[in-house]
Amino acid sequence: MTFNLDTVPSQRGRVAIATGANTGIGYETALGLAQTGMKVIMACRNLGRVIN
């Protein structure tokens, strides 16, 4: 079974907190959640390492 973001229904109006969201899998998770319309709060230890 393969996961595909295109099959996820709209998540508008929902909020998620993604930890470790400045790099790696945390960043990819935050990005995927945002692509579904969800508001994502990125929890990071080091603001200097946040990817723009």
Q: Kindly report, residue by residue over 17-47, the tens digit of the pLDDT.
A: 999 888 889 889 999 999 999 999 998 887 6
Sign of torsion, CA 13 17 21 27? Answer: negative
How many domains, in total, are found in the chain? Answer: 1
Instruction: Please spell the DSSP secondary structure of 5-43, one letter per residue.
Output: GGGSPP-TT-EEEEETTTSHHHHHHHHHHHHTT-EEEEE
Residue 29 domain-assigned (yes or no): yes
pLDDT at 43: 87
The range of the structural domain enclosing residue 22 comes to 14-46
d(CA 16, CA 41): 6
Going by pLDDT thresholds of 50, 70 and 90, the confidence category of residue 52 is: low
pTM score of the predicted model: 0.77
Mean pLDDT, to the nearest integer, of 5-10? 90
